[in-house]
Amino acid sequence: MYHPQPLSRRHCTGSFDCGKEELNVWLSKSAMQAESNRRARTFVWTPQEEDDVVAYYSLAGHLVQRSETPTKVGRGGPNQIPSIILGRLALDSSLHGRGLGEHLLVDALSAAVQSSHSVAARLVVVDAIDEEAALSTRSTASLASPATHGCSGR
């Protein structure tokens, strides 16, 4: 099994191919810059004792307007609700069809929940790249109960 680790310059991102060019390019061209500018934290999976990235996700702080949330979530809160955004999530095509995408999403959500213990965040927002990714995320995330994991979503 793979374990997430923070992206660093030692990681090889050039051969990563998830089948979505936008996600491939972001990892190879923008992820380290986002990391050094503190706009996002990117976590990667690599095979044991290797540096080739086979999966990644990116998390950042975010604000959600209370008016954009269900009443149950936003009631009594400030106009802007502190949140964590899952902005990027991708699995190399060589690993597709093995159920690892679900594990990657659970890793990302777990990291978001863990960080909310240090810095307050009430929601996890997923910025899916397309409808297929949104459907897959909703399906997987529904398996993780907010009561169990301490997270909410839109």
Pairing of strands 5-6, 41-45: antiparallel
Higher pLDDT, 71 or 55: 55
Higher pLDDT, 129 or 44: 44
Residue-wise pLDDT tens digits, 79-89: 888 888 888 99
Residue 93 has pLDDT above 70, yes or no: yes
73, two tokens: 């979530």
Residue 53 has pLDDT above 80, yes or no: yes
In a domain, 120, yes or no: yes
48, two tokens: 């044991």
Residue 151 is predicted with a pLDDT of 40
Residue 64 is predicted with a pLDDT of 84
In a domain, 151, yes or no: no
In a domain, 87, yes or no: yes
Rounded to two decimals, what is the model's pTM?
Answer: 0.80
In a domain, 149, yes or no: no
Domain span including residue 27: 5-144
Helix axes of 100-115 and 131-141: crossing angle, nearest 10 degrees: 70
**Percentage of the residues of the chain whose pLDDT score is greater than 90:** 46
- Is 93 exposed, middle or buried (CB count within 10 Å of its CB: 0-12, 13-18, 19+)? middle
Cα gap 142→30, rounded to integer Å? 30
In a domain, 154, yes or no: no
In a domain, 72, yes or no: yes
In a domain, 29, yes or no: yes
Number of domains in the chain: 1
Residue-wise pLDDT tens digits, 99-153: 898 899 889 989 998 888 888 888 877 776 666 665 666 555 544 434 333 344 4
Q: For residue 55, give the CATH number of its domain.
A: 3.40.630.30
Q: How many residues does the chain have?
A: 154
In a domain, 34, yes or no: yes
